[in-house]
């Protein structure tokens, strides 16, 4: 299965991936080169260089060139992507600012040292170097705060074993690499092994754990002609299967395609900072061009050019590069202390318009762990502890989830039971001897197929309640039963009530059967739920709800990965699969659903701080740009480069302090 995808802590900008490792290296190299530039150049002409010697201008030009081409490369790539998409935003604005500063600064060096132009032409190498450094630092901080190594696609691939047991026509078994398995091959899958590919059972039977793939909490009995999915885990029996899907056709491959498609589509989502940068790009460019033309006509090119350049450089203030990253870093730190791992800051901005909260049942609203809900005799009306003791004795040596549930219940009841040797029966259950008597523990299918007598009304009630049943049989007589069901998480009801109070509509989605889903929905007072959903079904449901408003999806399994990636906000339960976690925007480390409420509060506070910082980081341009262009020149006032530098520094300080005041 080809699902590998290169991933090295990357973040999408303008359709281009930015690598955190590259940004980190570029930042440190650029910073080292910046130090002599700061010592040998002035800030917008407002001070004399600390070091000034013959040829220092040329040295600064060389260092500035290195910083421009080396440190600025990520922004050039991002701007190229934005312009190709006809959506100039942050990367384009940064590129415009550093390009104008570099080109004009090279011109100033030539004018001052080659052509001896008078008066002295001011350069912007100080601004160029610090702007590149701060923008690199800002993006590094942001990526370091929200990105983690790993790939949902790689995690999907790891669900499959590396090898498969291939059966030839003579029935001989040969271990082969999974990539060599093709449709039509016959495979042998032993007890406890992962099923290597999609297929149809041709021989044998077993209870298969499909929870990692479909979300179905109960073990699914498989027999001849039953379909199985690659990545699910075989139970105690041995099965043979004919491969029906592998590589690009397999179930996990299809899930992989859905995840990749959803992630790529969502990565192009424009965030608040990009929208502000886009507006600022057009505004600054327009003001600069108008300013250049007017000053050229009235005062000549030597006056017009510096004025237009000052406008363009002021339009890309240092504060804008830190306005969002500093808030994200602070928000991520606060979230981590609350058990919230933020993976995509764009998710924060969707909360204000959130309308639906779609959530998986098993592992999200319920514990995903079987516990005994009822047990007793089927030959009397008494809650016979002897039934539980006998079944615990037979199951004592098994690690099967249902066996563990039975033995745990016996321990709770303080029942002393033995550990006898039991024998697994393919597709049935197990059998064992206690005091000379042979007992069976079987599934409801065995009871039905062998027409054993049970109270059908009581049997139906237990199944309709979402329970998984195990029956104790002796000499074709059903002696008793144990019913096990998933338990609702204590915080689930409170979560749903709080969401409703905030005007968010909760919806339960599950791969479980309709009766089991209805039981949970009734207990949680949920009117909107859908059951028996495969991954593709869940993703389609998310898309349907997105037509009506913003959607948050909460899940924990492989079957949730496409819908987590597709949703406006994907929330993964920390105890879930790596695939779900890597597909989500947010991870609940403590696996407590009620932490979602903490996230919603943090997201609203974070978005508010982002908006404030963007106003401080770019909003002052409403006044600064017209003044720099010379709107008040007729009355004798023009914003000087020195004043522009002070405003830029002040806005940077303000956004830093404002970010630090973020709290829940």
pLDDT one-digit tens code per residue, 257-282? 655 555 554 444 457 777 888 888 89
Asked whether residue 92 falls in the same domain as residue 10, the answer is: yes
198 burial via Cβ count (<10 Å: 0-12, 13-18, 19+): buried
Nearest C-alpha neighbor of 326 from the set 25, 609, 14: 609
| Co-location of 448 and 516 in the same domain | no
The pLDDT confidence band at residue 250, using thresholds 50, 70 and 90, is low
pLDDT averaged over the chain? 81
Above 70 in pLDDT, residue 303? yes
- Residue 197 counted as domain residue: yes
**464 is known as an active-site residue:** no
CB atoms within 10 A of CB 510: 29
The answer to whether residues 57 and 206 belong to one domain is: no
Question: Which one from 236, 360, 585, 592 is the annotated catalytic residue?
Answer: 360
Domain that holds residue 125: 1-149
Helical H runs in 465-594? 492-501, 514-523, 535-546, 561-566, 578-583
Q: What is the CATH number of the domain that holds 530?
A: 3.40.50.1000
State how far the Cα of 188 lies from the Cα of 174, in Å rounded to an integer.
10
* 82: nearest Cα among 96, 69, 70: 96
Residues 550 and 414 both lie in one domain? no
Q: Are residues 407 and 354 in the same domain?
A: no
Note whether residue 390 is domain-resident.
yes
pLDDT band at 401 (very low <50, low <70, confident <90, very high): low
- Reported as a single tens digit per residue, the pLDDT across 190-220 is 888 888 888 899 988 888 877 655 555 557 7
- In terms of domains, do 129 and 238 share one? no
Give the per-residue pLDDT at 211.
62
232, 254, 276: which is the final residue of a domain?
A: 254
Kindly report, residue by residue over 57-89, the tens digit of the pLDDT: 999 999 999 999 999 999 999 899 889 888 888
Residue 152 has pLDDT above 60, yes or no: no
Q: What is the pLDDT of residue 548?
A: 95
> For residues 11 and 77, which has the higher predicted lDDT (pLDDT)?
77
pLDDT bracket for residue 319 (50, 70, 90): confident
Residues 6+ apart with CB under 8 A from 643: none
CA distance 389 to 599: 46
Of 561, 587, 565, 583, nearest to 574 by C-alpha is 587
Could you tell me what percent of the chain has a pLDDT over 90? 23
473 and 509 share a domain? no
Q: What is the CA radius of gyration of the chain?
A: 33
Residues 493 and 357 in one domain: yes
- pLDDT at residue 660 is higher than 50: yes
Residue at 154 is within a domain? no
Residue 314: inside a domain: no
The answer to whether residues 38 and 137 belong to one domain is yes
Confidence band, pLDDT 50/70/90 cuts, at residue 150 = very low
**Average pLDDT estimate for 403-412:** 87
Is 384 domain-assigned? yes
Q: Are strands 163-167 and 569-573 parallel, antiparallel or unpaired?
A: unpaired
What does the pLDDT read at residue 580? 65
pLDDT in tens, 339-377: 887 777 778 888 989 999 999 887 788 876 778 888 888
- CATH number of domain containing 396: 3.40.1110.10
Tokens of 524: 């949680």
Does the pLDDT value for residue 149 go beyond 50?
Answer: no
Sequence-separated (6 or more) residues with CB below 8 Å from residue 406:
372, 388, 391, 392, 395, 470, 482, 484
How would you class 456 by CB atoms within 10 Å of its CB: exposed for 0-12, middle for 13-18, buried for 19 or more? exposed
Domain C-terminal end among 89, 124, 149: 149
Among candidate residues 507, 410, 522, 409, the one with its CA nearest the CA of residue 465: 522
Same domain, 393 and 463: yes
Same domain, 431 and 514: no
Q: What is the pLDDT of residue 522?
A: 87
Q: Which residue has the higher pLDDT, 542 or 306?
A: 542
Residue at which a domain ends, from 487, 517, 537:
487
Number of domains in the chain: 4
Range with the largest mean pLDDT of 246-250, 335-339, 385-389, 573-577: 385-389
User: 489 pLDDT band (50/70/90 cuts)?
Assistant: confident
Lowest mean pLDDT among 248-252, 259-263, 527-531: 259-263
Average pLDDT over residues 291-314: 86
Q: How far is CA 107 from CA 177, 291, 301, 319, 650, in A?
A: 63, 20, 13, 27, 29
Residue 240 inside a domain? The answer is yes
Is-cis flag, bond preceding 119, omega within 30?
yes
Of residues 517 and 428, more confidence is placed in 517
Residue among 504, 542, 496 nearest 521 (CA): 496
CA–CA dist 531, 551 (Å, integer): 18
Q: For residue 342, report the phi and psi dihedrals to the nearest 5 degrees.
A: -85, 130
| CATH number of the domain within which 236 lies | 2.70.150.10
**How deeply is 323 buried, as exposed, middle or buried, from its count of CB atoms within 10 A (0-12, 13-18, 19+)?**
buried
Does residue 44 surpass a pLDDT of 50?
yes
- Give pLDDT, residue 29: 96
Q: Is residue 605 part of a domain?
A: no
Over residues 244-254, the mean pLDDT reads 67
pLDDT of residue 3: 38
pLDDT tens-place string over residues 108-135 = 999 999 988 877 788 889 888 988 998 8
pLDDT for the residue 318: 65
Task: Specify if 279 maps to a domain.
Answer: no
Q: Does residue 105 sit in the same domain as residue 234? A: no
pLDDT exceeds 50 at position 8: no
């Amino acid at each position: 299965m080809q699902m590998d995808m290169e991933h090295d802590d990357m973040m999408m900008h303008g359709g281009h991936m930015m690598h955190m490792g590259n940004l980190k290296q570029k930042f440190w190299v650029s910073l080292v080169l910046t130090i002599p530039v700061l010592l040998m150049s002035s800030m917008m002409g407002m001070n004399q260089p600390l070091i000034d010697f013959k040829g220092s201008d040329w040295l600064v030009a060389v260092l500035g060139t290195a910083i421009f081409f080396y440190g600025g490369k990520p922004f050039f790539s991002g701007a190229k992507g934005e312009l190709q998409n006809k959506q100039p935003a942050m990367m384009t604005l940064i590129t415009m600012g550093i390009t104008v500063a570099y080109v004009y600064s090279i011109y100033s060096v030539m004018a001052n040292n080659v052509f001896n132009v008078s008066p002295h032409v001011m350069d912007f190498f100080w601004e160029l170097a610090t702007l590149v450094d701060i923008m690199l630092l800002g993006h590094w901080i942001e990526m370091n705060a929200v990105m983690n190594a790993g790939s949902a696609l790689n995690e999907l691939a790891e669900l499959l074993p590396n090898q498969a047991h291939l059966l030839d026509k003579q029935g001989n078994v040969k271990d082969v690499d999974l990539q060599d398995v093709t449709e039509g091959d016959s495979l042998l899958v032993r007890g406890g092994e992962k099923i290597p590919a999609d297929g149809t059972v041709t021989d044998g039977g077993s209870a298969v754990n499909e929870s990692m793939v479909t979300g179905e909490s109960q073990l699914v009995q498989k027999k001849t002609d039953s379909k199985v999915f690659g990545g699910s885990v075989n139970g105690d029996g041995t099965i043979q299967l004919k491969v029906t899907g592998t590589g690009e056709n397999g179930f996990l491959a299809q899930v992989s395609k859905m995840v990749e498609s959803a992630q790529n589509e969502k990565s192009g989502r424009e965030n608040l900072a990009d929208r502000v940068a886009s507006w600022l790009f057009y505004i600054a460019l327009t003001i600069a061009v108008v300013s250049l033309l007017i000053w050229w006509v009235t005062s000549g090119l030597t006056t017009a050019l510096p004025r237009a350049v000052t406008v363009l450089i002021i339009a890309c203030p240092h504060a804008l590069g830190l306005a969002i990253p500093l808030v994200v870093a602070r928000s991520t730190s606060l979230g981590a202390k609350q058990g919230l791992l933020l993976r995509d800051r764009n998710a924060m901005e969707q909360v204000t318009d959130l309308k639906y909260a779609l959530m998986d049942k098993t592992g999200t609203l319920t514990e995903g762990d079987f516990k005994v809900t009822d047990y007793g005799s089927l030959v009397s009306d008494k809650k016979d502890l002897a039934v539980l003791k006998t079944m615990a004795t037979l199951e004592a040596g098994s690690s099967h989830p249902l066996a563990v549930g039975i033995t745990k219940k016996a321990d709770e009841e303080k029942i002393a039971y033995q550990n006898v040797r039991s024998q697994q029966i393919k597709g049935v259950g197990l059998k064992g001897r206690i005091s000379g008597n042979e007992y069976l523990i079987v599934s409801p299918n065995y009871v039905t197929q062998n027409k054993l007598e049970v109270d059908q009304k009581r049997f139906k009630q237990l199944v309709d309640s979402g329970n998984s049943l195990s029956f104790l049989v002796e000499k074709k007589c059903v002696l008793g039963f144990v019913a096990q069901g998933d338990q609702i998480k204590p915080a689930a009801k409170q979560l749903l009530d709080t969401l409703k109070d905030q005007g968010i509509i909760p919806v339960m989605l599950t791969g479980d059967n309709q009766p089991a889903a209805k039981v949970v929905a009734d207990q949680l007072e949920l009117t909107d739920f859908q059951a028996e959903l495969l991954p593709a079904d869940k993703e389609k449901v998310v898309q349907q709800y997105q037509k009506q408003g913003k959607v948050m999806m909460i899940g924990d399994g492989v079957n949730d990965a496409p819908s987590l990636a597709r949703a406006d906000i994907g929330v993964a339960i920390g105890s879930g699969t790596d695939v779900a976690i890597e597909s989500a925007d947010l991870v609940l480390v403590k696996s407590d659903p009620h932490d979602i409420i903490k996230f919603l509060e943090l997201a609203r506070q974070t978005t508010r701080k982002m908006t404030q910082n963007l106003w401080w980081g770019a909003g002052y341009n409403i006044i600064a740009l017209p003044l720099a262009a010379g709107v008040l020149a007729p009355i004798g006032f023009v914003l000087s480069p020195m004043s522009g530098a002070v405003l830029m520094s002040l806005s940077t300080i303000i956004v830093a302090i404002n970010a630090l005041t973020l709290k829940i």
